[in-house]
A = this chain, B = another copy of it.
Amino acid sequence: MFRILETKEHILADNAAAAEQTREQMKKDGVVLVNLMGSPGAGKTSVLLRLIGLLGKDYRIGVMEADVDSDVDAKTIAATGARVIQLHTAGLCHMDADMTRRGLDALGLDGLDLVFLENIGNLVCPAEFEIGADLRMMLLSVPEGDDKPLKYPLMFTVSDVLLFNKIDTLPIFDFDAAKAAERARALNPEIRIFSVSAKTGDGFEPVAALLREAMEQRRTQA
């Protein structure tokens, strides 16, 4: 159904060089790479299911599920028909560029338009490692609170896209979306913010449109 790759061992010391190599590879192969990040339980896998649902008919999608352990998310994604590989970091709190490159090799880019890396659930470490992605997409779920940009600033600073997930739960949590957006934009004025609910499916069309645009642009470059 899917392979499991142990990615802990570092081969290249230079993370930036490996990231650049991936960036070139993606352009050459006409594939868009998205680095999906967020806290444990922010809803990364559920968001992927929604995006695969909207994009899977027109585009061929691959997913790399990075986890410290287990393969529950890879199983969930594999059921959609997307090409999936499970990456095990064996205790590491993030994916780096070399681990990502080896994941991409094992996944195989042939025939794919879009690859998601679902990074380790963590608001600190993944923000520090460029992997060569075209888009860095982060989730902040409503139950986590609107103060997270203050506490984990780097993640908001390096992300291109921010999804507020679980917006169906806004009535029961003290989450001020305007305040969260303002705090994120204070760190990163260019960040594009969308409100979604992976549970209800609300709000995903503009996110899918952004990914479609990235893929069409890549096709004309390739």
List A residues at the B interface (Cβ < 8 Å): 39-41, 67-70, 72-73, 91-93, 120-125, 128, 141, 143-145, 147-148, 150-154, 166, 169, 172
Contacts and interface: CB of A to CB of B under 8 A. Distances in A.
Given A141-B41, A144-B41, A121 B67 contact: no
Contact of A39 (B40, B67, B73): B40
Task: Report the copy number of this chain in the oligomer.
Answer: 2
B91 A154 contact: yes
A42 to B, nearest CB: 8
Contacts of A145: 41
B154 A121 contact: no
Given A39-B41, A124-B122, A166-B143, A93 B93 contact: yes
A184 to B, nearest CB: 14
Given A40-B148, A41-B145, A151-B70, A124 B128 contact: no
Nearest to A41: B144
A72 B183 CA distance: 13
25 contacts: A39-B39, A40-B148, A41-B141, A41-B148, A67-B151, A68-B124, A68-B152, A69-B150, A69-B152, A70-B147, A70-B150, A70-B153, A91-B124, A91-B128, A120-B124, A121-B123, A121-B151, A121-B152, A122-B125, A125-B125, A143-B143, A143-B166, A143-B169, A169-B169, A169-B172
